[in-house]
A and B are shown apart, each in its own frame.
Chain A
Amino acid sequence: MPIFVDKGTNVLIQGITGKFGALQTKLMLDCGTKIVAGVTPGKGGQTQFDVPVYDSVQQAVNKHRVDASVIYVPAPFVQDAAFEAMDAEIKFTVIITDWVPLHSEMKIKAYAKGRDARYIGPNTPGIMVPAQTSLGMISPSAVMPGGVAVVSRSGTLTDEVASHLSEQGIGQSVVIGLGGDPIVGSRIIDILKLLKEDGQTKGVVIVGEIGGTMEEEAAQYIEGQFNKPVVAFVAGRTAPRGKVMGHAGAIIMGERGTAESKINAFESAGVSVAKTLWEIPSLLKKVV
């Protein structure tokens, strides 16, 4: 298992009968994801694409071994859904839903702390291990198996970067979106710590963006303790100061959080920083 999941991972879908959840379930099944159960309160006993549906997560884990859950419930219900997954002792959760309230994000983070529970998101495209499994919406046609891990704060840009790598013959060990919101379950540094121990991963691409301090924190870790080559890209170099560009996370705050601060931090940690998307594969070829 590169990180978090592989082809043996048994997956639960929370919100499996919703319009969005159902469509995604179908696409994940097409990727070979082992979806063993779904949850929608009030729909227990039904099936969705032959996957059994339960009223609660606890019911599902009583019947099945569940290694990971993917949450598609609407934003107002995400907090409870995440608590429910953690209370059922599911070790890894992917929160796909976007527009999740900030206070819910803080509470989920606090709830996970001190438990043996990890999560990514909210507002994430999910995690994909090429040719093995997909928990989320990353396009199977964007990826191919290989040795480069893509760790990204974006959604569609994650997919685009993976495509650029695949088109240049560079395969991926894992493609993971952390979520575009200010408070997410796993930060870049958390993923790097796991990738450090992963034999499959030979190099890492970090796709960052303006706002927050995740990139600066990661750069510091890379400088002192990370042992694999890293190429970084930072979106928002030319964003005007003080303007909010989309993600709640992409707000420039003070001196830290700017593209300049992130690029400087990466460069002084010896990380090659790509100026354009198509520079990423060529820089990678130089260092890996």
Chain B
Amino acid sequence: MRLYEYEGKEIFKKFGIPIPQGILVKTGEEARQAAIELGKEVVVKSQILTGGRGKGGGIKFARTPDGAEKIAQGILGMELEGYKVNSLLIEEKLNITNELYMGITVDGENGTPVAMVSAEGGVEIEEVAKRNPEKIASELINPLYGIRTYEAINLVRQIGLTERTLTSVSRVLCQLYQVFALNDARVAEINPLIITNEGNMVAADSRCEIDDNSLFKHPEYKDLRIQRIENRWEREGAEGGVNYVDLEGNIAVMANGAGLTMSLLDTIKANGGSPACFLDTGGGLSRERMKNGVGLLLRKARADQRIKVVLLMVRMMISPPDAVTEGIMEAIEEVQVKTPVVAVIRGRTPYQKRARELLENSAVILCPGIEEGIREAMKIAKG
């Protein structure tokens, strides 16, 4: 899950990385008060969970508290990159001498953390990576030991820093690695890391993403993850332990396993059909998860007239057949909607046999294979 800038900065502070003085606000009046409290020129920064805020007008400077209030009123409630702005960070304006980039993330190919620094901070680092890859110095880090001081020094030297700046930037890099490691981050990034006129380091922005599989270690974020999902159906999916993605078509699709669900969508599209969603329950099924998944699709179908049919594909490797079919039937009974349900159930012979028997005299339309299931669903969708 991605954190807001102010949340990332709170973590930075805990780990000793200097951040600007700042106050989180939700109204124009609060922005004004914040500017008075800070007692200097400020920057008003929209708090949304995506990049590109500056370009979209979500970051502005104010000389006076009046100015801060006016700007805040203009930005609050605005929609930026598909996100509504509900809060702002009012921060002291910094005197900038130099802007660096610093980030720790995961290198999928090598399966290790990778630390990166660049003297070209303050811009889209992806652009630098494309245009001048030589301007980014990077180093793979052994996750068992973490970054060592000499690794940080060697890395920061590569972007041309010397003397006191070299050691202070290296220290921030080591601190950022701690942020990454101890918060189970997928990404911990400072862009830009500012060197002020006085020669101090300040993290002017933060980007932190916590690994969802590690949220059990971070209870403070666990519930927030689900609350912050904007699409109500996707949120309902997350609450029910299934992965739902809203699409635009007329066939609501669900399967157990991401690869299987994606290939169902691909096949429907290749045959000229149009999936209304992607719903992956995960490979191993319980009665509850099955019920949550089917229930979600049926409720969505009731609310969205475009959806003509629900298509389920269950591959039974280890999922108990009685639980799976009970989950389907309970959802159908509970939601009470006329949308037909087409199901393809395959897998371990005894499981497949039992599940098909249990559904035989139900309202569910059983098809022997994926090809037949898709054909049937598309026929119904066409009306």
Contact = CB atoms under 8 A, between A and B. Distances in A.
Contacts of B142: 110
Interface in A87-120: 98-103, 105-107, 109-111
A239 interface: yes
Contacts of B216: 75-76
Contacts of B120: none
A207 interface: yes
B341 interface: no
B266 interface: yes
A48 B106 CA distance: 40
A154 B280 CA distance: 13
A75 B184 CA distance: 14
Interface of A: 20, 23-24, 27, 75-76, 98-103, 105-107, 109-111, 125, 137-142, 152-160, 163, 180, 182-183, 207, 209-210, 212-213, 217, 233, 235-240, 243-248, 250, 254, 275-278
B247 A278 contact: no
A282 B371 CA distance: 15
Given A156-B283, A235-B266, A240-B247, A106 B260 contact: no
A101 B265 contact: no
A157 B214 contact: no
Contacts of B256: 156
Contact of A154 (B109, B258, B349): B258
A156 B257 contact: yes
13 contacts: A27-B318, A101-B213, A102-B184, A106-B111, A110-B112, A141-B348, A156-B255, A156-B257, A157-B257, A212-B108, A238-B269, A239-B278, A276-B270
A217 B278 contact: no
B209 to A, nearest CB: 10
B315 to A, nearest CB: 4
Given A103-B184, A103-B214, A156-B317, A277 B348 contact: no
A209 B259 contact: yes
Name the interface size band of chain B: 35 or more
A164 to B, nearest CB: 9
Interface string B210-235: 01111011000000000000000000
B186 A160 contact: no
B213 A75 contact: yes
Interface string B253-273: 001111111110111011000
B185 to A, nearest CB: 8
A208 to B, nearest CB: 9
Contact of B263 (A109, A235, A243): A235
Contacts of A243: 245, 278
B23 interface: no
B39 interface: no
Contact of A246 (B186, B262, B270): B262
A245 B261 contact: yes
B211 A102 contact: yes
Please provide the 7 A-B residue pairs with the shortest distance between their CB atoms, ordered closest to farther.
Answer: A246-B258, A154-B259, A156-B257, A157-B259, A156-B315, A109-B111, A141-B349
Nearest to B145: A110
A140 to B, nearest CB: 7
Contact of B106 (A106, A137, A277): A106
B262 A209 contact: yes
B181 interface: yes
B143 interface: yes
A99 B256 CA distance: 15
Candidate in B258, B263, B265 with the most chain A CB atoms within 10 angstroms: B258
Contacts of A103: 143, 181, 184, 211, 214
Nearest to A210: B262
B282 interface: yes
B187 to A, nearest CB: 11
Contacts of B262: 209-210, 235-236, 239, 245-246, 250
A277 B211 contact: no
A71 B141 CA distance: 27
A119 B267 CA distance: 32
Contacts of B261: 245-246
Given A27-B318, A137-B317, A154 B257 contact: yes
Nearest to B112: A106
B213 A100 contact: yes
B346 to A, nearest CB: 7
B151 to A, nearest CB: 15
Nearest to B269: A238
B22 to A, nearest CB: 29
Candidate in B111, B217, B316, B318 with the most chain A CB atoms within 10 angstroms: B111
Contacts of A20: 284
Nearest to A101: B214
A239 B278 CA distance: 9
Given A156-B260, A209-B258, A237-B266, 15 more contacts: A103-B181, A106-B143, A109-B112, A110-B111, A155-B283, A155-B317, A159-B317, A183-B108, A235-B258, A237-B270, A245-B245, A246-B257, A246-B262, A250-B258, A277-B267
